[in-house]
Amino acid sequence: MNAQPHVRLRNVTKRFGSAIAVNDVSFDVAQSSFTTLLGPSGCGKTTILRMVAGFYRPDAGDIFLRDVRVTDIPPHRRNTAMVFQEYALFPHMNVAENVGYGLRMRRVPSPEAGPRIAQVLELVGLSGHELKFPHQLSGGQQQRVALARALVVEPEVLLLDEPLSNLDAKLRVRVRTEIRQLQQQLRKTALYVTHDQEEALAISDRIAVMDRGRILQSGTPLEIYHRPANRFVADFVGLANFVDARVVAAGRVEARGVTLAITDGAPSGPVTLLLRPEAIRLHRQPPAHAANVLGGRIAAASFLGTLARYWVDVNGMRWTIDVPSPGDQLLSGEVFVEIPPDRIHILKE
């Protein structure tokens, strides 16, 4: 990866009437990286993508592609290409015509356009489908046509707005893997939008978590998951148990009369602890030589194949606890709950 960011937003704000869709956002997308904007519906993801593409002009702030300020440059002169959520294929054009549309708009002569169309169709695994119309293709194939149509103009930056939302669960996983492989193979810079946290964790180099027009945290998937900056990020990415506690000494917190050992440093006073469901262990018998063991009672259980998810009442709280590889015996009744000290994360905010 190059040190200079490929896409840079600086204090970008976009309003629609009196509503602020994007509120003073600054962030960088590294060259050849796959960066994802993740957040709930209406938080401003599409608006950011459209501003990078040039379809919307920011009310304040600036956008740069490398060192070029593009804020006032129209979309077709930015060298970006966008894949829209609804594919937006032309129903009356066949696959080759759909893919070649951007080349015709750019007046690329057909002797040059033909081989380029064939090449991207090969890349997305659709060679041989040139003459089909969109209604003759599956959802996943249409999605790949939309991707080919963006790639054929050889954009420097690929903008993808929830491109998988119309696919079923299995196909989503397959196509997202294909998109990621293609991006790595072509070393394109990609800015991807999703509200699906698992998808974001699975394919991104970096994730920017958004809420109400702002970016709350940006980091690698591991940083976002294990060291969320605040409660919103912790809750939006993965499942979270939150525990109100108080730091009473170095390496010790107290929560509802129980003292727990921690390794995360924090100044004394009230804090919120984050316990991920898979970070907590369940035992039938009290484990020997373990720190932070509490009695609990299983209130509900759910078998999910690769894991069992339990809702356990512990000291007046109800925690979600995941046990990997449960086999064919689920736990019930009284249990012992172990929280390894290094798996307790203290939310700083």
Ligand X SMILES: Nc1ncnc2c1ncn2[C@@H]1O[C@H](COP(=O)(O)OP(=O)(O)OP(=O)(O)O)[C@@H](O)[C@H]1O
Choice between 22 and 323, CB closer to ligand X:
22
| Residue 306 in contact with ligand X, rule: CB under 6 A | no
- Report the residue from 33, 46, 98, 217 that binds Mg ion according to the rule CB under 5 A: 46
Closest contact distance (angstroms) between CB of 92 and ligand X is: 27
Query: Beta strand 80-83 with 157-161: parallel, antiparallel or unpaired?
Result: parallel
| Residue 42 in contact with ligand X, rule: CB under 6 A | yes
Closest contact distance (angstroms) between CB of 308 and Mg ion is: 35
Q: Which does 320 bind (CB under 5 to 8 A by kind): ligand X, Mg ion, none?
A: none
- Report the residue from 7, 12, 33, 44 that binds ligand X according to the rule CB under 6 A: 44
User: 3-state SS string over 162-224?
Assistant: CCCCCCCHHHHHHHHHHHHHHHHHHCCEEEEEECCHHHHHHHCCEEEEEECCEEEEEECHHHH
Q: Which does 21 bind (CB under 5 to 8 A by kind): ligand X, Mg ion, none?
A: ligand X
Closest contact distance (angstroms) between CB of 40 and ligand X is: 7
The H-assigned helical ranges of the chain are: 45-53, 95-105, 110-123, 139-151, 169-186, 197-203, 221-226, 231-236
| Residue 141 in contact with ligand X, rule: CB under 6 A | no
| Residue 46 in contact with ligand X, rule: CB under 6 A | yes
Angle at 217 between CA 216 and CA 219, to 5 degrees: 165
End-to-end Cα separation, the chain, in angstroms: 32
Q: Which does 339 bind (CB under 5 to 8 A by kind): ligand X, Mg ion, none?
A: none
Quick count: other Cβ atoms within 10 Å of Cβ 320? 18
- CB–CB of 81/148 below 8 Å? no
Closest contact distance (angstroms) between CB of 157 and ligand X is: 18
| Residue 47 in contact with ligand X, rule: CB under 6 A | yes
